[in-house]
Amino acid sequence: MTKRAVVAGIGHYLPERVVPNSEFEKSLDTSDEWIRARSGIERRHFAAEGQTTSNLATQAAQAALDDAGLTPDDLDALIVATSTADLTFPSAATMVQAQLGMRQGFAFDVQAVCAGFVFAMANANALIVSGQVKRVMVIGAETFSRIMDWTDRSTCVLFGDGAGAMILEAQDGTGDNADRGILSVDLNSDGNYRDILYVDGGVSTNTTGYLRMEGKEVFRHAIEKLAATAATALGKIGLSGSDIDWIVPHQANIRIIQGTARKMGLSMDNVVVTVQDHGNTSAASIPLALSVGKARGQIKTGDLLVTEAIGGGLAWGSVVLRW
Ligand code: ACO
């Protein structure tokens, strides 16, 4: 018997305010056409003043609990993947724990920027397969609008705010690829690429900062590394791209998503795409896409999925799971 971390519920939350590309035309030398053509983004959501990452995360978590038919009392742990926590400490995760009314278990944040949800799922999987916990709430939540330089047209048009949440629960499997749940994980990072994607401020440097990015460089690394990590995760269990029902990629740029699918030998019919509606929501993008993909009727019980993401660090990885 093999213990598997199986999806028991999924949900998401997007802030009310929707900002179309045309809004940026008022203050920047940019256009709806440029943003659509270069990124695939048409609109994004921005959090209201005073609305924090833990607020978005709590609403997504509640939606996942409702989907699973569970209550906060049923959870043993809660992980939030974020680079935009409300405060330096305590963690966003403990804030969500309190907002949900969850008094037991433990909560902590994972910070791997846009790859954060993949890293958080890997952590949750390790806690479950080692028998330490039965049920984990895994959340990706961000308010990237707080770290935008609104005068930099090459970055501020690309990002959005939101949250997605998934409940993983221990179930017994047979140990083969027919099992539901997480089947394989691949994680990577290389800190030598710090300068191509970073925030130029933080607590230990006594500064507040904004996101800085060498878009072309990140783009180049993204397609190569995303296809490679997906192939590695699939290869670990004797599978390849052709075995997959759905790629659920980090939603940064439609051209990266298309390039990665092409490299994996899959058509866009096998890809869940939400970047047009959400922009790049960093660690929130994969759980948002999973939740929307399920609601659209794309992702069904038994489907084989690969999720892959890359972000600041660089940090990148993928998770193969059967829904
Ligand atoms: N509107 C109009 N023109 C613009 C804009 C804009 N919003 N932004 C940049 N431009 C201009 C540039 O200044 C440049 O002008 P120039 O030729 O006169 O110098 C021109 O458009 C072309 O710029 P490029 O950077 O060459 O455009 P590119 O096709 O590479 O697209 C983009 C830029 C969209 C940023 C792309 O490189 C990209 O998506 N990169 C990856 C970004 C990404 O995925 N980040 C995710 C990781 S996120 C995380 O971890 C937080």
* pLDDT tens digits, one per residue of 81-114: 999 999 999 999 999 999 999 999 999 999 999 9
Q: Does the beta carbon of 282 sit less than 6 angstroms from any atom of ligand 1?
A: yes
Q: What is the pTM of this model?
A: 0.97
The verdict on the CB of residue 84 being under 6 Å from ligand 1 is no
pLDDT of the residue at 314: 98
Question: Which tokens sit at 89?
Answer: 């400490």
CA dist., res. 260 & res. 247, Å (int): 10
pLDDT at 32 over 90: yes
Tens digits of residue pLDDT in 260-292: 999 999 999 999 999 999 999 999 999 999 999
Give yes or no for residue 206 having a pLDDT over 90. Answer: no
Task: Answer for the pair 15, 45: CB distance below 8 angstroms, yes or no.
Answer: yes
Residue 280 falls in the annotated catalytic set? yes
Residue 1 has what pLDDT?
A: 84
Which residues 6+ apart lie within 8 Å of 184 measured at CB?
233, 234, 236, 237, 319, 320
Burial 256-275 (b: 16+ CB within 10 A, else e): bbbbbbebbebeeebbbbbb
DSSP secondary structure, 109-156, as one string: EE--GGGHHHHHHHHHHHHHHTTS-SEEEEEEEEEGGGG--TT-HHHH
H/E stretch holding 291 reads helix 285-295
Two structure tokens written together for 269: 């019919």
Torsion of CA 287, 57, 166, 297, to 10 degrees: -50
Please pick, among 114, 253, 270, 278, the residue that the annotation labels catalytic. 114
Closest C-alpha to ligand 1, atom 46: 252
* Domains assigned to the chain: 2-173 (3.40.47.10), 181-322 (3.40.47.10)
Mean pLDDT of the chain: 97
Residue 208 has pLDDT above 90, yes or no: no
Helix/strand/coil percentages in the chain, nearest 5: 40, 30, 30
CA dist 290 and 246 (Å) reads 10
Ligand 1 atom at shortest distance from the alpha carbon of 211 = 51
